[in-house]
Amino acid sequence: MVAFHDRRRKQYESIEDLTPGLHLGPGDTLSKSVIAGRYVVRGRRTEEGRRYTLHEALPNGDIIQRGEFDSRRLARKQTSVIQPTRTYDTLPELQ
């Protein structure tokens, strides 16, 4: 049996596919579209100002946090250099 890594270029088409997995609070904002088929930026209001969190949607439907930034632009820029999370681990060979 062979395990594999998710190498699809596009996974999610619409932001509505991801909103159920994100717990949005009052005053939170969300990017208008899915970035690179798997990333979304959420802005939330804090006492110091606004903070932007980069989230990654995994193939199994989980959404994980990948970083926190001072500006939306920095969060979007990070999507071009960040490696996708490894979602399928190599299974041990059957003997």
The pLDDT-based confidence of 20 (bands split at 50, 70, 90) is confident
Tokens 């969060």 belong to 75
The string of pLDDT tens digits covering residues 40-73 is 999 999 888 899 999 998 877 888 999 999 999 9
Is residue 59 a contact partner of residue 87, using CB atoms and an 8 Å limit?
yes
pLDDT reported for residue 5: 54
Q: Cα–Cα distances in Å, from 85 out to 3, 21, 27, 65, 69? A: 15, 17, 28, 11, 19
The pLDDT-based confidence of 7 (bands split at 50, 70, 90) is low
Is residue 53 a contact partner of residue 7, using CB atoms and an 8 Å limit?
no
